[in-house]
Amino acid sequence: MRTGTTSAGLLVLRLAAGGFLLPHGLGKLLGWFGGPGIAGFAAELQHFGLPSAPPLPLLLAALQTGLGLMVAVGAFTRIAALGSAAFLGVTVALNLSHGWFWMQGGIEYPLLWLLANLSVALTGPGTLSMDARRQEMAHGR
């Protein structure tokens, strides 16, 4: 196995898996990238029949943002990727009634990112990550 290309591949996977989740969290948290902001996110939660009272929308938006960032940089990667996959699993469940295709509100897109995050959780972060750097520092390298 070629470790250099494997680590580079894991970096690309992490950047995609976390990097695609991050702007969605920031859109909910801060209204960036055309996102709904906290009030709009609370309305989305309510639309799906989920609890939407403060501070839950803020906590969920912060969690999504934090998990995306952690996966992207490879910090506490396996836990963050599992959390991201769980977050996306809820999105998949909420959209099941809309079928497969994302352009019709289906599960295709969130399922792809759930599987990408699950792949990161299963493989780990690789050597080009904060986790690897933390390990090096713990072992005096």
Mean pLDDT calculated for residue range 84-113: 96
Distance CA 6, CA 74 (A): 15
Among the listed residues 24, 8, 107, 25, the one whose alpha carbon sits nearest the alpha carbon of residue 61:
25
pLDDT at 4: 79
Among the listed residues 95, 121, 119, 123, the one whose alpha carbon sits nearest the alpha carbon of residue 107:
95
Q: Tell me: pLDDT of 2 over 70.
A: no
Q: Tell me: pLDDT of 141 over 80.
A: no
Q: Tell me: pLDDT of 1 over 90.
A: no
Kindly report, residue by residue over 16-74, the tens digit of the pLDDT.
Answer: 999 999 999 999 999 999 999 999 999 999 999 999 999 999 999 999 999 999 999 99
Amino acid present at 56: L
